[in-house]
Amino acid sequence: MPSIKAVLFDLDDTLWPIAPVIARAEQDMYEWLRTHAPAVTERFTIEALRARRMELLRSTPHFRFDMIGLRHAGLSAAFSECNEDSSRVGNAMDIFNRARNRVDLFEDVQPVLPRLSEHWLLGTISNGPADLGAIGLSHHFRSSIAAYRFGTGKPDPKIFLAACELLGVAPQEAVYVGDDPLLDVEGAQRAGLKGVWMDREGERATRVMPAHVAPDAICTNLYALEHWLHTTSGTGGR
């Protein structure tokens, strides 16, 4: 079996919980809209704006890998309907994006990532738009690919293969770690990588592993991942 040389990570719900981040970002932007585009908040609640985005996503599937573009398009339509100044949509998005990158890392992230980087090449692949530089994690990773920039996302094999190429490793020498059984585990395995399920909720998990997906490992935190990597590949890939 080829030795593990690289470990690639999903971001949202793997390195930090995403639901509270999005809720806070949407609230921050909505409060900004109350002052700077009041007609929008008089007509639409946060929930109504979210529902309209989902309708737009169903009618425009390419936004599936560009959530920032989707949010911008949905907000632009709301501004237009309310006769608000559309030039301010960018300002509203700036408010959202700043809050989107204020995350609360899982407690194991800061201790473990530096240790992993001593033994393996680290990278990220995300369908979301998180900015690792703004978050303060970019120095841990040799490469990072975001779907909205790449043009397609997980589970498309192309994005996994591109990440391996950036790190200079074969797919068989890489592990992908993520919380979604289909996008992350099955997607990685179909591209030739090992797929590790980050099941942080353990027995409380609402997400169930489909019967046809067999992860190479199941870990509830990065400490368990670190142990598995050392057990699987000895002292590491470098």
> What does the pLDDT look like over 58-94, one tens digit per residue?
999 889 999 999 999 999 999 999 999 999 999 999 9
Beta bridge partners of 122: 7
Q: How many helices (H) and strands (E) does the chain have?
A: 11, 6
Give me the pLDDT at residue 209, please.
Answer: 82
Residue 236 has pLDDT above 80, yes or no: no
Token representation of residue 114? 């530096």
pLDDT per position as a tens digit, 146-200: 999 999 999 999 999 999 999 999 999 999 999 999 999 999 999 999 999 999 9
CB of 53 closer than 8 Å to CB of 68: no
Domain boundaries, the chain: 6-17+103-233, 19-100
**Residue from 132, 133, 121, 115 nearest 167 by CA:** 121
What is the CATH architecture of 6-17+103-233? Answer: 3-Layer(aba) Sandwich (3.40)
Give me the pLDDT at residue 203, please.
Answer: 58
| Topology classification of domain 19-100 | Four Helix Bundle (Hemerythrin (Met), subunit A) (1.20.120)
pTM score, whole prediction: 0.93
